Amino acid sequence: MKDRVTPEFIRAVPKSDLHLHLDGSLRLKTLIELAREAKVKLPSFSEAGLRKLVFKDSYRDLPEYLHGFMYTCAVLQDLENLSRAAQELVEDNAAEGVRYIEVRFAPQLHVTATTGVRDVVRAVAAGLAAGAKAHNNSKTVKSGEDVPFRYGMILCAMRRFKKGMSPYFADMLRLMEHAPKDEVFAAASLELARAGVELSVEGLPVVGFDLAGEEAGFPPADHWAAYQYAHNHFIRKTVHAGEAYGPESIWQAITQCHANRIGHGTFLFAQDMIQDPKIEDRKRYVEDLTNYMASQRIGVEVCVTSNLQTIPSLKSISAHPIRRMIDSGLAVSICTDNRLISNTTVSRELELVVEGAKVSRAELRRLIVAGFKGAFFHGSFADKRAFVEAVERRYEMLESRA
């Protein structure tokens, strides 16, 4: 293989995406079609218009970035639409060489007056299965030349919510109107964890539990009961942490929520964001946390484009901590976060990291394999090991031809 890692090679090799939000990853064409059907008013009904007005390459701030979700969530209040979005997401990933995804979504956001959390999860699962069918029935997969497409679902609890976000959240706030808000948020998370365990026992590929939403002021420890329930029932855990808060948030996610992986972790090294006055040696705290995560193989789901779009202090990839994460031996996987909102793909994210963080050929291979090894995976460990080995063989074969 030549010294230069080409876009063609990156696109060809098997890849994974462990941090992928369903409601942030619709096809733009599908969003427009579903909006017309559901009579959802969009700022524009052309793809070019929406790219100019909503789904941009760069954003002023996080609120502008999040603005697009009001439209995607509005069209995902129908079970058929959820299934379609999930199916197309698999098809789009498979087309660019991705062979494993973990689709995360907040089922409680998609509940209606006639559907519940379990209906929503089953609809997404059906779409994922339909999307994987064509690839997995292909001649290249059946012959063993290519690897099958595998997937899992991660259920997202919300750090905080308002009545207008969904009928489910409105009911929760009404029923617990006299309780402190943090208790209401925690109760919703625990209900979701229970539903996730139940559906997992049913055989659905619910592989993980997540906590998303506004990080500052809403610590992961508030949702301890939900995470403990998931932990007690062998559901793996990830937490959005270190995205808008410092190292303490990441450590709390690990110690209080049993996090197997961290979503983003962008401010892992930000000593100046440590707030606990008891932590006198901030440099040592960050070093110890980093070494702990590296030694325990607690994965970091890095979404470079999304970070550059939502964190004003990050002006370029060279300012992103991805290079330091790699040098620290962390189990880093490269993810998209939101394919539509960030206008990206797994291949594009890898290209950006290779060029911007000066990633070598050996490091690229480790990054890609780390994504598969860090997968929560629906199946036995033996099945996962066989899958990873198949990925490595496929990678080596393509590398030898490059």
Positions marked catalytic: 243
Residue 375 sits at the vertex; the CA angle it makes with 377 and 107, to the nearest 5 degrees, is: 70
Question: For residues 4 and 103, what is the distance between their CA atoms, to the nearest angstrom?
Answer: 32
Q: Helices (H), strands (E): how many in the chain? A: 18, 8
Question: For residues 250 and 268, what is the distance between their CA atoms, to the nearest angstrom?
Answer: 7
Q: Calculate Rg over the CA atoms of the chain.
A: 20
Question: For residues 371 and 69, what is the distance between their CA atoms, to the nearest angstrom?
Answer: 26
8 A C-beta contact, residue 105 and residue 155: yes
8 A C-beta contact, residue 177 and residue 231: no
Report the side by side order of strands in the sheet with 15-21.
Answer: 15-21, 98-105, 150-158, 206-212, 236-241, 261-264, 299-302, 332-334
* Single-letter amino acid code for the residue at 193: A
8 A C-beta contact, residue 108 and residue 70: no
* Single-letter amino acid code for the residue at 183: E
